[in-house]
Amino acid sequence: MKRIVSLTFAVAMLIFGGAVNAGKVEDCRNAKRLLDVDSSMVVAACRRLADQGDAHAQFALGAMYHFGKGVPRDYAEAMRWFQKAADQDLAAAQFGIGSLYDNGYGVVQDYVGAVQWYRKAADREYANAQYHLGQMYKLGHGVQRNHAEAARWFHRAAVQGHASAQYYLGSMYEAGWGLPKDLVQAYMWFDVAARSAGTAAHQHYAIKYRDSIASKMNLGQLFKAKILAAEWRLEPSH
């Protein structure tokens, strides 16, 4: 199946929200409209806070260097600021470092290093890191290929609402990779993924494979799968 990659840093950037003005901690942490607002204001506010040791501001500044928003794109600077925030156990920054190593941005591509940093963030329940760690196990990048481990990490991200992880968990159930083959569970996760906020690509493939599985199921299985999907979406914790 085609690998659907989540928006590596764009997803992380969405932890911010609001406008930047006086340089308060909340301003830098809550710049959800970072890609739309005056980036120079964001940079100035975050740099002041980052220099004072605020981990969220350090991560934000690293992300700006990664995207080239308000500053020239500079992966070395992105790594430097991510590292400062990661040293304070900020999961988003740990994930950011993992992604730089995974993609070879500003550093020699290092899958082993990427796995180490993804795992740090994943162990702190950072869903995007859990999804990417699942991909590393699925593909055998930096670790021995292990479908059971891939499925385990996809599941941990999926139950937090990570759309791409939901899609891949469905694919693991469909193929019986690392899990007992289960068309009911496969349909359920594809259906949940199709209705989650995610990329158009993952929604397209989730719908495609959900409908393909439906043609192989009897009425009882299909009814159960639809009930499970509906109950999952209604669960308050999701």
Residues 6+ apart with CB under 8 A from 198: 6, 163, 164, 167
d(CA 151, CA 138): 8
Q: Supply the pTM of this predicted model.
A: 0.84
pLDDT averaged over consecutive 10-residue blocks of the chain (238 residues)?
A: 40 33 50 54 84 91 88 95 97 96 96 98 96 98 98 96 94 96 96 82 87 94 94 66
225 belongs to a structural domain: yes
With 0-12 / 13-18 / 19 or more C-beta atoms within 10 angstroms meaning exposed / middle / buried, residue 148 is exposed
235 belongs to a structural domain: yes
**Segments forming the whole domain that contains residue 196:** 158-238
Alpha carbon of residue 122 to chain centroid? 10
119 belongs to a structural domain: no
196 belongs to a structural domain: yes
33 belongs to a structural domain: no
What is the tally of structural domains in the chain?
1
147 belongs to a structural domain: no
